[in-house]
Structure 1
Amino acid sequence: MRLIADENISWRLKKLIPDWDILPVNEITPFERLSDSMIWRFAKSNNYTIVTFDEDFSELQNLFSFPPKIVWLRTGNVATHEIARILKKHESKITDFVADKETGILELYL
């Protein structure tokens, strides 16, 4: 499972879950801010699932369908270690979601 962490999620998430393939957005272009549509295209081209707090990705999926898939954290802003806890707690659900050809968005709550 390949995840790309939106810019509102700290790059430290990668360190908290080192056994997962997590790419922080700031590692794509360290000196340039990427728009949501640029992140969308990168994720689609490179087979990533987007992890985000941002509703805008849901709107992009409504326009363009999927891939990429979206793991939408419906938690409000929480600490990075809490995001890691939520993702690990739902690891099997996320794995099943990524493999599912019918579903484009997985919403996760606290």
Structure 2
Amino acid sequence: MKLLLDANMSWRLSRKLSSHFEDCFHVDNIGLAMPAKDLDIWKYALINDLIIVSNDIDFLNLANSRGFPPKVVLLRTGNQSNAYLEHLLVKHKKDIGELYSSTEYGFLEIV
């Protein structure tokens, strides 16, 4: 499973997570206009089979209106350190894998 971290997350986190997930990208490093629009991020993730990871509820709204894929992991943790977010995502790696494989749901909320 491949992750795409939204702009509201640190690009440094993508480096840390790349050892735990197949691939991990940050929106600032994929060639989209900066700042990237949510719909452009959505389309990029769809084309490239990426799971969007964000703490921005706008992606939940897109998931509700457009369906899936792409799939979305919404972090509801408030502002946290990269180390905390890395630990949290690795801790939920199995859940994220189940999200990736699911044909029934396209959204995972982590609190």
- Under a length normalisation based on structure 1, what TM-score does the superposition of the two structures give? 0.93
Secondary structure of the corresponding residue to residue 11 of structure 2:
coil
Aligned equivalents of 1:53 and 1:59: distance in 2?
A: 12
For structure 2, the 5+ residue unaligned runs are none
1:31, CA displacement in angstroms? 6.2
Cα pair 1:72 1:105 within 8 Å, conserved: yes
Secondary structure of the corresponding residue to residue 40 of structure 1:
helix
- Segments ≥4 residues shifted beyond 6 Å: none
Q: Which amino acid is the alignment partner of residue 37 of structure 2?
A: S
Aligned equivalents of 1:83 and 1:33: distance in 2?
A: 22
Aligned to 2:61: 59
Matched, 1:4 2:1: no
1:61, CA displacement in angstroms? 1.1
Q: Figure out how many residues of one structure are paired with residues of the other and give that number.
A: 109
Percentage of identical aligned residues: 38
Aligned to 2:85: 83
1:18, CA displacement in angstroms? 2.8
For structure 1, the 5+ residue unaligned runs are none
